[in-house]
Amino acid sequence: MAWTTRRKAIAIAKVEPNVHLDPSVVGRAPGIATINFSPLEFYGAAARCSHRHLVNPAIVTGESQMIEALVTSHVDDVKADFEIEASADGFKDYVKSYFAGTVATGLSYLAMVHDGYVWSDHFENLGGGSSATRKTPDFVFSGYGTGVALVESKGSRSGSPSAFEARVRQGYIDQVEPHLGHAVGRVTATHGYCIGAYLPTACRADLRIHHTAVPVSGAPGGDMDSQSLALIQRGNYARAFALAHSADLGRAIRAGEARERIPFVRFGWRGRKWLTSRRFGAFVPIRGELIKFLAWFGFSFPRSVDWWPGSGLGFAIDEQIALAALSRYLRVDGASAEDLLEINVLELDNGDGPGEQREGAAFPDGLAAIGPDLRPENEEAVVWERNTGEIHPS
């Protein structure tokens, strides 16, 4: 049976510390031994990591559906452990690489989130690092009290465990370690990880992690100034709004462009209110209507996109977190976009029942991956007003 409802677990099988002599590099060992996740948590994590640049949500939905179609048939819906079925052995070489890389990236993202990291951005978006090498990690992560972590992801479906561990170690040495202690987008990288997902056929998968060693004093991670955290937050929410609304709004947030009015669709789910640009309506497509609604406010979309997909994965953002982010980055109150955005991190309570697993999955930063069984409550078109910083019915 294809993987659609069963929560899965994957263990961290091996953890290897790496000593670094720079005093600004403080280290932080993984604080978890296993992670547990639903199909939608995994698909949402993989989809939000797939694009470095900001893309239209319809394109991301297509990417999400492709990832879901590629993975769901090769992971069963029965076992408690995450395991790739033998059916995946028939892929051509280039598909094998894409499959392993996509699965590994999604698992790496979930490992960081479960270990207390909340916000992230692609390394390339922040820039910086050491000029002595062209090799770079995939992501930059941070959270309250975690320091700034560089993360490289590796995945493999074949080879011996020892050979894969050597590859993970080399990934840390080549792509993470050279940038530690350097400014990445004016943020000092305090520690890092190379997270390897070992995905053998018909055998329990696991994670193998190389990380920056914790100092002898035992201090787990370093403090960081609010500006450092704010820079990562800003990139995180640029991507979150690109997924939940439009690439146009994502670019505006990253650039700090003032916007007077922004349209959303608001709906209720699990006791909270959420914002998106997609009218779900029990996942019935509406051709043209929402695109025209958004275009009237100046948001552009590719001409080929004249409808919002009526099934599969979509994204929405928690209204309270969205209000705080919009007010900060679109300059409602005159505050700098590089000031710390103080928000309450969402708890990862994504339900236990099969029906709940297919409704959606929320991440700590306030973004939610919405699934095919969502039944939104009190769905309505609304507008965010810059002059008041509030949302009201359109």
pLDDT confidence band for 70 (50 / 70 / 90): confident
- Asked whether the predicted pLDDT for residue 14 surpasses 90, the reply is yes
CB neighbour list of residue 112: distance below 8 Å, 6 or more residues apart? 120, 139, 141, 149, 151, 193, 195
Residue 214 in tokens? 């914790």
Q: What is the mean pLDDT of residues 127-147?
A: 93
Give the global pTM: 0.87
Q: Would you call 169 helix, strand, or coil by DSSP?
A: helix
**Residue 248 and residue 233 in contact, taking contact as beta carbons nearer than 8 Å:** no
Low-confidence winner among 136-140, 146-150, 371-375 (lowest mean pLDDT): 371-375
> Is the pLDDT higher at 69 or at 75?
75
Tens of pLDDT along 30-66? 999 999 999 989 988 988 887 665 555 555 555 666 6
**Residue 224 and residue 211 in contact, taking contact as beta carbons nearer than 8 Å:** no
What is d(CA 192, CA 177) in angstroms, rounded to the nearest whole number?
A: 7
Burial of 258 (0-12, 13-18, 19+ CB in 10 A): exposed
Which sign, positive or negative, has the C-alpha torsion 256, 260, 265, 270? positive
Tens of pLDDT along 340-378? 788 888 875 655 555 566 788 999 999 999 887 888 899
